[in-house]
Chains A and B, each alone.
Chain A
Amino acid sequence: MCTGGSPSSNGSQAGDGNEAEQQQPATDQPELPQRTAIVSSTPEEILAEYGENLKLLTLNSQVSELLTIIRDKNTTRSDFKFYADRLIRLVIEESLNQLPYSDCDVETPTGAIYEGLKYRSGNCGVSIIRSGEAMEQGLRDCCRSIRIGKILVESDANTHEARVVYARFPDDIGSRQVLLMYPIMSTGNTVLQAVNVLREHGVPEKCIILSNLFCTPIAARTVVNAFPKLKILTSELHPVAPNHFGQKYFGTD
């Protein structure tokens, strides 16, 4: 689940489109109040638990600081956006790492040969409205003219079921690598729906890379179970997701 702004408990909530209405304060995990937890799993543990397709950004001090600032409720909105953008940039750069490439030697101005590599063309981004759109700029900063599709997932207020209400993609999306952007995953339901839509459009599971900032272990498990070949990149696995992300980033809180 997701929810950018809504706490959402069961999953159904949809995209951030409606988050504002649904806001309920942090009821997400009522059973962990005041818990100070860094769920610091080692990369090996994560590999064992979720398989090789879930990757975490290398957690150096700098990334920790970004996470801390974003989570701090006393952070001003301006700082919040500034540091969120930095984190997004790092996550996007790291996501691009997952794209396929081929070797490529080039001649440098000194006349020597550099054995480099070249990414294949034919990538595109897809953001899940609304909070996923926060990551579009980060992607644009890395790939200037990349095509970006959008998906709006809504959750039914009664049944908490997520369903896709809007989707717009490049025509040939089936032949592209897709970078799916969604910053906060609480339950993973929104992402499940989004991936389903992509598959309906002919995108193979293994061609989708999910870029995510904050992920709960529950969501990670849900998504990994449903789509074992989907590549997931996130910066943190933590039982409490910062569900205020969308509102604070866009200033609708």
Chain B
Amino acid sequence: MSSITFLCSKTNNNNNNNKNSSKDVATNGISASSSSPVFASAGLLTQTTTASAAHHQQQQHQLQLHNQLKKTKVKAAAKSNGHSHIDDRSDATEPIFIDATATGGELNCCPASPTTVPAKSSLESPMRRSARRQRTTSIGNQTTTANPSECIIRANNRTIYTAGRPPWYNCAGQQVEPFVIGICGGSASGKTTVAEKIIESLDVPWVTLLSMDCFYKILNGKQHEQALINEYNFDHPDAFDIELLIDVLTKLKEGRKVEVPVYNFVTHGRESQTKTMYGANVIIFEGILTFHSPEVLKLLDMKIFVDTDPDIRLARRLKRDISQRGRDLKGVLKQYLNMVKPSYANYIAPTMAHADIIVPRGGENTVAIALIVQHVHTQLQLRGFKLRETLANSYKDQPMPDSLHLLHPTPQIKGLHTFIRCKNTSRDEFIFYSKRLIRLVIEYALSLFPFKTTRVETPQGVLYEGRRMESRKICGVSILRAGETMEQAVCDVCKDIRIGKILIQTNLKTGEPELYYLRLPKDIKDFKVILMDATVATGAAAMMAIRVLLDHDVPEENIILASLLMAEIGVHSIAYAFPRVKIVTSALDPEINSKFYVIPGIGNFGDRYFGTEPSDEY
């Protein structure tokens, strides 16, 4: 995404020759991106791809996409060179999306790689700089990075469907430490290729790729000037905001949500919007100075140094910058000799000593990558990423936990259950009776929030001692799709309540729950949350939802999980994992079957309520 702004600015600058247009540019970029359908769809595709790196087909698709994009980009660059007016919105946006690489203009940037400049004579050294910087992010890289973080949440009201996020905690609901891989290497050594190959062969659907480029420092006026004439050393460790980097990486490792800055290479500052990232089972952190800080080193579980022959790296740079980015030989060489090479020798090469594995020849080294992947797999298995089955088989014959609050089993409730459980109940009646039952469940759930004693005056002139809820800040969060059916009842009971949604679906292949979509009220951490799901079988989806809430800093004791029907194991698993979460249900069934349906159960509640039963059901 960052690339968008960038590109736009470039075009703008070229066209208008407006030096301080960065602001305009930014706006421009944003509006362009949001207004362009092309962009949107392209973004969608890429996202998908990334998230499921495992899916080769998709990946190929992505490659194609990239190629297309590249072409477009070149076209655009050519246009801007000619100082032609680019007023065609879609045209402008398209290239933008294409790749950060396309950037040019006055941006200068980083050193690490030489780069992409729009084909243009106008590019002087400053230009190159910027271009270079971009290059750090290679195409594939760009995609990957953007995706994982954005699969879940989209800033501008756009929803992106990707493969969902699998569990990132173990069966006790505790955060499992993700496996953090650090990849270091000189510029153009093939770090990104290695990262991609690892992701591809790992076959783990959720990987977060963090690039060190996000952590360039904000430059002051003087440094900005230097950067423009190519004298600011972006390859120096001081160019990075290591503190912020450590903070972000630590949080990611704890599985928390983080806001990763988006660096703007035009202004050498940070964009006002940030990229939201979540911890994942595997986190890959790559950059030229990944191993420089001892604190960062401590966070890395595996350290890979990509050691590519300097000649090859130079050759790649030359090839890339000249053939793809339209720069001249002299410029590229000068840059390489003055900044890139010394930095490599002084700061990058010595860190090779920290590496666990040194991969010669970069991404072509399939044997090395296979070894790495094998190791990571073993590590992941040891950490216990495997949920549903484990859940289904634990906690047999134990007393029910204290955190379970079962509605008093009155004849009324049993009668309602009889209606909704009967397979011959028509949908009309099913909806009617389940709504009545839901209402009772929600009313009951509300009574579990903390209350305080209060006195009120009555019209009869007597003081009345009663109770009020301690805090009116309550919000509902439904686990889509079945949990959505409970939203109406919450709204009927609490005026103007805020409703968040979490979409979790079961992956039919693995049987594991996956997180697809998430939209929560902004300050959810200050709210008491009623988490709603119609039925809870193994509790895997509910646990994921609770985990999401915890990751958003909602205190565990502020969560109430409300459900019409739960299986005993589900209750056990949730209560074991999150003892302070209150569990409310109107009925408890003893078993679940091999398809994880509760027995005797209701069947698929969502399907019956929404009328989407497959025709040959059961």
Contact = CB atoms under 8 A, between A and B. Distances in A.
Contact of A82 (B449, B465, B495): B495
Given A62-B446, A65-B451, A116-B418, A89 B458 contact: no
Interface string A8-47: 0000000000000000011011001111111000000000
B258 to A, nearest CB: 38
Contacts of A106: 418, 421-424
B415 A101 contact: yes
Interface stretch (B227-235, B317-325, B406-414): B406-414
Interface in B437-460: 439-440, 443-444, 446-449, 451, 454-460
A251 interface: no
Nearest to B608: A109
Contact of B459 (A32, A108, A242): A242
Contact of B443 (A32, A86, A242): A86
B469 interface: yes
Interface stretch (B157-165, B259-267, B598-606): B598-606
A175 interface: no
Contacts of A167: none
Contact of B601 (A64, A72, A93, A112): A112
Contacts of B436: 93, 141-142
A97 B409 CA distance: 10
A106 B600 CA distance: 10
B457 A114 contact: no
A117 interface: yes
B440 A93 contact: yes
Contact of B600 (A72, A101, A114, A119): A114
A61 interface: yes
Given A106-B423, A109-B608, A119 B462 contact: no
Nearest to B587: A114
Given A64-B451, A116-B417, A117-B418, A90 B443 contact: yes
A36 B455 contact: yes
A61 B447 contact: yes
Nearest to A247: B459
B414 A86 contact: no
B156 to A, nearest CB: 36
A29 B418 CA distance: 47
Contacts of B385: none
Given A62-B444, A110-B603, A32 B462 contact: yes
A88 to B, nearest CB: 12
B466 A112 contact: no
B411 to A, nearest CB: 5
Contacts of B421: 106, 108, 114, 116
Contact of B456 (A61, A74, A99, A114): A74
A34 B448 CA distance: 30
Interface in B159-218: none
Contacts of B447: 60-63
Interface in A108-141: 108-114, 116-119, 141
A241 B598 CA distance: 46
Given A68-B468, A240-B462, A73 B456 contact: yes
B459 A244 contact: yes
Given A33-B462, A72-B457, A74-B457, A61 B601 contact: no
A107 interface: yes
Interface in B564-618: 593, 597-604, 608, 617-618
A7 B459 CA distance: 11
Contacts of A61: 447-449, 451, 467, 469
The interface size bin for chain A is 35 or more
B443 A36 contact: no
Interface in A165-210: none
Contact of B454 (A37, A68, A96, A241): A68
A69 B467 CA distance: 9
Interface residues of B, number: 54
B463 interface: yes
A241 B462 CA distance: 10
A86 B601 contact: no
A70 to B, nearest CB: 9
Given A93-B440, A107-B423, A242 B418 contact: no
B493 interface: yes
A58 interface: yes
A98 B447 CA distance: 23
A235 interface: no
Given A38-B465, A97-B410, A109-B601, A118 B418 contact: yes
B461 interface: yes
B463 A35 contact: yes
A35 to B, nearest CB: 6
Given A36-B464, A65-B467, A109 B458 contact: no
A62 B408 CA distance: 15
Looking at B457, B466, B617, the one whose CB has the most chain A CB atoms below 10 A away is B466
Contacts of A33: 461-462
Contacts of A7: 460
A104 B603 contact: no
Given A93-B440, A244-B459, A104 B418 contact: yes
B414 A117 contact: yes
A96 B597 contact: no
Interface in A217-248: 240-244
B495 to A, nearest CB: 7
A26 to B, nearest CB: 4
B458 to A, nearest CB: 5
B425 to A, nearest CB: 8
B443 A62 contact: yes
Contacts of A74: 456-457
Interface of A: 7, 25-26, 28-29, 32-38, 58, 60-65, 67-69, 71-74, 79, 82, 86, 89-90, 93-94, 96-97, 99, 101, 104, 106-114, 116-119, 141-142, 144, 240-244
Query: Considering the complex of A and B, which 10 residue pairs feature the smallest CB-CB distances, nearest first?
Result: A68-B466, A116-B418, A109-B603, A62-B447, A112-B600, A106-B422, A72-B456, A26-B460, A60-B447, A64-B467
Given A116-B414, A240-B462, 6 more contacts: A28-B460, A37-B462, A64-B467, A68-B456, A97-B411, A108-B421
10 contacts: A34-B462, A36-B465, A72-B457, A72-B466, A73-B458, A79-B495, A109-B602, A110-B597, A113-B600, A114-B600
